[in-house]
Amino acid sequence: MNRRKGSGYTPPFEQVAGNGLLHRRALLGGGLMLAGAVSSGASLTSADAEPLTIPEWTLEPGEVTPVLQTPSPYEKNVVRILSNPKGDPRTQHARAPLQMLNGTITPNPLHFTILHSGIPDIDPAQHRFIIHGMVRQALEYTVDDLLRYPMVTRKHFVECGGNSAPMFSDVPIQATVQQIHGLSSCAEWTGVPVSTILDEAGIDPRAKWMVAEGADSLLVSRSCPLKKGYEDAMIALYQNGERLMPGNGYPMRLLLPGYEGNMNTKFLRRLYITDQPAMTFYETRNYSPLLPDGKAYRFYFINEVKSFITQPSFGSTLKKPGYYEISGLAYSGTGRIERVRVTADGGKSWADAALEGPISPKAFTRFVMPWRWDGQPAVISSRAWDDSGEVQPLRADFVAVRGQTKRPVTNSNAFPNNHYNSLTAWGIESSGEIKHVYM
Amino acid sequence: MSICKPLAAALFVGFAFGSAAYAANTPGLGKPVTESDIKAWDITVLPDGTGLPPGSGTAEQGAKLFVAKGCNQCHGDGAKGGRANMLIGSPSLTEPGISANKTIANFWGQPTTLFDYIRRAMPWPTPETLSNDEVYALCAYLFAGNNLIPKDEVMDAQTLPKIKMPNRHNFIIKFPDRI
Q: Tell me, what's the pLDDT at A139?
A: 98
Cβ-nearest to B28 among A200, A205, A269: A200
Q: Tell me, what's the pLDDT at B24?
A: 63
How far apart are the CA of A288 and the nearest CA of chain B, in angstroms?
8
Q: Tell me, what's the pLDDT at A80?
A: 98
Q: Tell me, what's the pLDDT at A11?
A: 53
ipTM for the predicted complex comes to 0.91
Cβ-nearest to B170 among A197, A294, A302: A294
How far apart are the CA of A346 and the nearest CA of chain B, in angstroms?
27
Is the confidence at residue A157, as pLDDT, over 60? Answer: yes
Residues near A8 by Cβ (< 8 Å), separated by ≥ 6?
Answer: none
Q: Tell me, what's the pLDDT at A389?
A: 97
Residue A152's beta-bridge partner residues?
A191
Q: How many CB pairs under 8 A join A and B?
A: 203
Chain A residues with CB inside 8 Å of B117's CB?
280-281
CA dist A7 → A3, A14, A36, B173 (Å) = 9, 15, 21, 61
What mean pLDDT do residues B1-13 have?
43
The CATH code of the domain at B41-162 is 1.10.760.10
Cβ-nearest to A130 among B23, B33, B173: B33
Least confident of A3-12, A136-145, B35-44: A3-12
Is the confidence at residue A258, as pLDDT, over 90? Answer: yes
Q: Which tens digit of pLDDT belongs to each residue from B48-63? A: 999 999 999 999 999 9
The CA distance from A325 to A21, in Å, is 10
Chain B residues with CB inside 8 Å of A204's CB?
12, 15
Q: Residue B109's closest chain A neighbor by CA?
A: A284
Q: Which tens digit of pLDDT belongs to each residue from A62-111? A: 999 999 999 999 999 999 999 999 999 999 999 999 999 999 999 999 99
CATH match of A128-284 with 3.30.43.10: no
Q: Which tens digit of pLDDT belongs to each residue from A276-331? A: 999 999 999 999 999 999 999 999 999 999 999 999 999 999 999 999 999 999 99
How far apart are the CA of A329 and the nearest CA of chain B, in angstroms?
25
How far apart are the CA of B90 and the nearest CA of chain A, in angstroms?
13
Chain B residues with CB inside 8 Å of A225's CB?
178-179
The CA distance from A108 to A238, in Å, is 11
Mean pLDDT, all residues of chain A: 93
CA angle A200, A206, A210 (to 5 degrees): 60
Q: Which tens digit of pLDDT belongs to each residue from A342-367? A: 999 999 999 999 999 999 999 999 99
Domain range list for chain A? 128-284, 306-437
Chain B residues with CB inside 8 Å of A292's CB?
94, 97-98
What mean pLDDT do residues A117-122 have?
98
Domain range list for chain B? 4-34, 41-162
How far apart are the CA of B148 and the nearest CA of chain A, in angstroms?
18
CB contact at 8 A, A312 and A380: yes
Q: Do B94 and A292 touch (CB under 8 A)?
A: yes
Angle between helix axes B132-145 and B59-68 (nearest 10 degrees) is 110
Q: Do B44 and A278 touch (CB under 8 A)?
A: yes
Q: Tell me, what's the pLDDT at A393?
A: 98
The CA distance from B105 to A410, in Å, is 28
- For chain B, give the percent of residues with pLDDT over 70: 87
Virtual CA dihedral for A390, A395, A397, A402, nearest 10 degrees? Answer: 90
The CA distance from A290 to A422, in Å, is 17
Residue A24's φ and ψ, nearest 5 degrees, are -65, -15
Is the confidence at residue A41, as pLDDT, over 50? Answer: no
Q: Which tens digit of pLDDT belongs to each residue from A218-228? A: 999 999 999 99
CATH match of A306-437 with 2.60.40.650: yes
Dihedral sign, CA of B9, B12, B17, B18?
positive
Chain B residues with CB inside 8 Å of A281's CB?
113, 116-117, 121
Is the confidence at residue A162, as pLDDT, over 90? Answer: yes
Cβ-nearest to B48 among A219, A227, A276: A276
Residues near A176 by Cβ (< 8 Å), separated by ≥ 6?
Answer: A99, A313, A314, A315
Is residue A38 very low, low, confident or very high in pLDDT (cuts 50, 70, 90)?
very low
